[in-house]
Amino acid sequence: MNPGDPASSGRDVPRLVGGLTKPATSRVAKLFRYVNRTVVELSSPDAAEMAKLLENIFRNVNIALVNQLAMLCERMGLDVWEVVDAAATKPFGFMPFRPGPGVGGHCIPVDPYYLAWRARQFGFVDRFVELAGDINVSMPRHVVELAAEALNSRGRSIKGSRIGVVGVSFKPDVRDVRNSPAADVIALLRERGGEVSFHDPLIDRFKDAGGHESESQPLASLVETSDLLVALVAHRAVDWQMVYERAGLVVDTAGTARHRNLRTDQVLLLGSGWLPAGGDSSGNGGN
């Protein structure tokens, strides 16, 4: 199932079944055909599990690729969001992935290391998969560096600054915080002396990676009282128009500022740089 997507629990999503014996596979497949229209029978539980790992690790690797490209684009003065959108015009052979503050949930951050552990039991080191996992794990630290850069542009440091984080779930429009990148982002900001509060329309309380627990604050007051806002999750329930109308300084890691009417040096976008006034995030990001 894909959290936040009701269609993923519907009858049209195929299910994979692999039993210890062929009769076991057939019996379980017969049961699942009452639930799903398509049931794919595999030769074993291991084959079914490897198929699941491949699907999740495929996403992890591609997210890592675009996150690496995002950091390169920041240095080159390019906009990775524009680049990905342009590549996605190809009608074959390409699947768009977009950058972000890291990966979360109960599968994608875990499965690369699970497979790497299993591979070592067969004398095989899967450096490619491990590297992709490490890249995504490192993204919260990069977000904190962007926060420091944004505050420095105002003659401030993270220490002593009031920082508001918008969105703490692991992905948009879900109430799930398992392995959320926000836990590391907030903990790292607090380690550097930031006074961090958060707003999430779906999460009432949140504990960061350092064990500090706090309550969600009203969005309007968070915007008004923060020296910097960090947009981590593009929840549809957040009034992003109000955020960008009132916020003085924003680090956007989720693309929420793109194509909005912005002010000069208001928004530092992950994978792009400082967005120009007027809201057109295409072309040079302003680095």
In the chain the domains, ranked by start, together with CATH numbers, are 1-43 (no CATH), 139-274 (3.40.50.720)
Q: What is the pLDDT of residue 280?
A: 54
DSSP string for 69-132: HHHHHHHHT--HHHHHHHHTT-SSS-------S---SSSTTTHHHHHHHHHHTTT---HHHHHH
| Separation between Cα atoms, residue 124 and residue 247, nearest integer Å | 50
Tell me, what's the pLDDT at 279? 59
Characterize the bridge pairing of strands 162-166 and 228-231.
parallel
**How do residues 74-131 score in pLDDT, each as one tens digit?**
999 999 999 999 999 999 999 999 999 999 998 888 999 999 999 999 999 889 999 9
Over residues 119-174, the pLDDT tens digits come to 999 999 889 999 999 999 999 999 999 999 999 999 999 999 999 999 999 999 99
CA dist 253 and 277 (Å) reads 18
For residue 193, what pLDDT band results from cuts at 50, 70 and 90? very high
Per-residue tokens: 184:
């590391």
| pLDDT classification of 5: cutoffs 50, 70, 90 | confident
Confidence of residue 12 (pLDDT cuts 50, 70, 90): confident
Q: Are 200 and 206 in contact (CB under 8 A)?
A: yes
Residue 114: predicted pLDDT? 92
Residues annotated as part of the active site: 107
pTM for the predicted model, two decimal places: 0.91
Averaged pLDDT, 8-32 = 92
Reply yes or no on whether the pLDDT at 282 is more than 70: no
Whole-number pLDDT of residue 10 = 80
Backbone dihedral angles phi then psi of residue 187, each to the nearest 5 degrees: -60, -40
Asked whether the beta carbons of 257 and 45 are under 8 A apart, the reply is: no
* pLDDT band per the 50, 70, 90 thresholds, residue 287: very low
**pLDDT, tens digit (0-9, with 9 covering 90-100), for 204-238:** 999 999 999 999 999 999 999 999 999 999 999 99
